Amino acid sequence: MRTLGLIVLLALLAGLPNLPRSMHGDQVFALLGAESLARGELLYRDFWDIRQPGLFVIYWLAGKLFGFDEIGLHLFDLLFWLAFAIFVSFTWPHIGRGRSASEANSSEASLALRPRPMWSIWPAVTTSGWYWAVTGGVQQMQPEAMVGPILYVHLWLVLRWSRLSWAIAGLVAAIVLLLKLMYLPLLGIAVLFAIIRLRREQSWRATVTHTSIYVFCGTLALASSLIPWLIAGELDILRRTYFDTPTQMLAELPRPSIDRLVDAAKWFGTRYGPLLALAAIGSLRLWHDGKREWMLFLFAWCLTSLIVIVAQRFSWWSYHFMLLALPVGLLAAEGCSACITRGKTLGKVLLLAVFMPMIAAVVLKWVPIIRESFCLTPTDRAAMLLHEEVYRKAKEETSFLRDGTSRPGSIFVAGDPIFYRYAGRTQATAIHGWSLELYPAEIRLLLVKQLIHAEPAYIFIDRVYYKKLIEEWYPELVELLRTQYRILRVSDTGTWYELLFLPLAS
């Protein structure tokens, strides 16, 4: 109970400061998709993106439970990581023991095992606690961040030798793939690790049976997820989105600069550097304790994660490196235990030095919240959001849409989707304007066709991100703006265009 209380205290101290903070553009965009789901619309037909549906469903669940806003989203994230902190603190001290049938029934094997605590605070600190402390809106509630705890639950299930646990693991695997199909290799190394251990303890027949149950349940869950599109007769749009569009992107779009990947790696190195030092100590501990297969598995998890990161060559953002956070955190938890049990005073001093950046990061997150009277009232929370420059600009730029004199109707924003929320308007097209640099020619033309059909009352073009890109890659959109819209207002942020009351060209 003491450990449980410490974990809750950790969540209050490190997790609560994230609640009233602003959302990054990716979070706002996913929340718009969740609101589309809440209106009964169909993903990819009524709200299109290249990502798999799992993330939008998670945001929909967060919105339904706690509200479609910053507080609701971050509260869901807090509770998600708090639940995982409790789960990993209870399971990680025992998961390496195997829990095989022979060990469970053999008192000699039990006596041979090195005693482990019932609970350990360190896995919670090095996973959830570090996440709360060092990440921001760019990294939080991204698929790469949320998949780590889900993969851990999947690992825990496949290391239990019951058929039921493997059946549930298949369902969890489907959730992982619904977040991103590219996470299949991460599932593969966990299942391979479990199969090797299972075969060591049981017959080939049992191994094949468990694996078959796993594959069947996972396939059934994935097939069931297609039902909404099957009923709507829109299965082809999934094929085009998941397979045709990525193929076109690979063929048409230029590779991003390797500097972006380097910058993302630097972000992870600076934020998770102290944990990497503890992870090295934890690796030595696992090796010394005879748990070499666990050390090799966690190394393989890290290596596979790096391969998946590099393979996503159109992204290479800092949040992709969150795939490494879970295995590094588990190794670091072993390092913490080693410092406490073997290092005595020197080990405790080392731990304090390692966790000082985490403590400092938490303190820095509390400072603006304290300045806004702990954000206890809606007014204080609104003021807190305006600390973010994007929010301030969005509020200023959309002020004319809230004064009662503007035209009603949907709008289109080629820029940060937070503009929609401050404008109080919906997105005019299914294809969004947040990732225009990633669209192949077919999607670019389809976007312009949707704009012609929807006739949004206003179109906003962000000057920094998309003005030059649109001039070079979207000539049809430039022509549409020239012939069917007039410039309403220009600022350092971007340009607003207003629809003319003229018939569309045939």
Query: In whole angstroms, how far apart are CA 127 and each of 94, 208, 358, 390?
Result: 17, 33, 12, 29
Cα separation, 195 vs 204, whole angstroms: 10
Distance CA(133)–CA(411), nearest Å, equals 37
Closest CA to 329 of 65, 80, 88: 88
Torsion angle of C-alpha atoms 216, 220, 222, 228, degrees rounded to 10? 170
DSSP state string for 389-412: HHHHHHHHHTGGGSSS-SPPS-EE
Show the tokens assigned to 256.
């991003």
pTM of the model: 0.93
The string of pLDDT tens digits covering residues 418-447 is: 999 999 999 999 999 999 999 999 999 999
> At which residue do the structure tokens 């790469």 appear?
144
* Distance between CA atoms of residues 428 and 454, nearest Å: 6
- Nearest partner of 226 among 239, 243, 215, 214, judged by Cα: 239
**pLDDT at 405 (0 to 100):** 86
472 by Cβ neighbours in 10 Å (0-12 / 13-18 / 19+) ranks as exposed
What does the longest C-alpha to C-alpha distance in the chain come to? 87
Q: Indicate the residue type of 114.
A: R
Kindly report the three-state secondary structure assignment for every residue of 163-230.
Answer: HHHHHHHHHHHHHHHHHCHHHHHHHHHHHHHHHHHHHHHCCHHHHHHHHHHHHHHHHHHHHHCCHHHH
Q: DSSP code of 431?
A: B
Report the C-alpha gap between 351 and 478 in whole angstroms. 57
pLDDT in tens, 185-219: 999 999 999 999 988 888 888 899 999 999 999 99
The residue with tokens 């825990």 is 156
Pairing label, strands 458-462, 494-499: antiparallel
Q: Cβ of 203: how many Cβ atoms within 10 Å? A: 10
Question: What confidence score (pLDDT) does residue 258 get?
Answer: 92
Count helices and strands in the chain by DSSP H and E runs:
25, 4
DSSP state of 126: I
Report the share of the chain in percent with pLDDT over 90.
83
Angle, nearest 10°, between helix axes 344-371 and 258-288? 140
What's the confidence (pLDDT) of residue 299? 97
For 85-135, what is each residue's pLDDT tens digit? 999 999 998 886 544 433 433 433 433 344 456 678 999 999 999 999 999
Amino acid at 314: F
Per-residue pLDDT of the chain (506 residues; tens, 9 = 90+): 788 999 999 999 999 999 999 999 999 999 999 999 999 999 999 999 999 999 999 999 999 999 999 999 999 999 999 999 999 999 998 886 544 433 433 433 433 344 456 678 999 999 999 999 999 999 999 999 999 999 999 999 999 989 999 999 999 999 999 999 999 999 999 999 999 998 888 888 889 999 999 999 999 999 999 999 999 999 999 999 999 999 999 899 888 889 999 999 999 999 999 999 999 999 999 999 889 999 999 999 999 999 999 999 888 999 999 999 999 999 999 999 888 887 667 777 888 888 999 999 999 999 999 999 999 999 999 999 999 999 999 999 999 999 888 999 999 999 999 999 999 999 999 999 999 999 999 999 999 999 999 999 999 999 988 889 999 999 999 999 999 999 999 999 999 999 997 544 44
Hey, what are 204's tokens?
Answer: 């080939």
Sheet containing 411-414, strands listed edge to edge, beginning at the edge strand earlier in sequence: 411-414, 458-462, 494-499, 485-490
Coil/strand/helix, residue 490:
strand
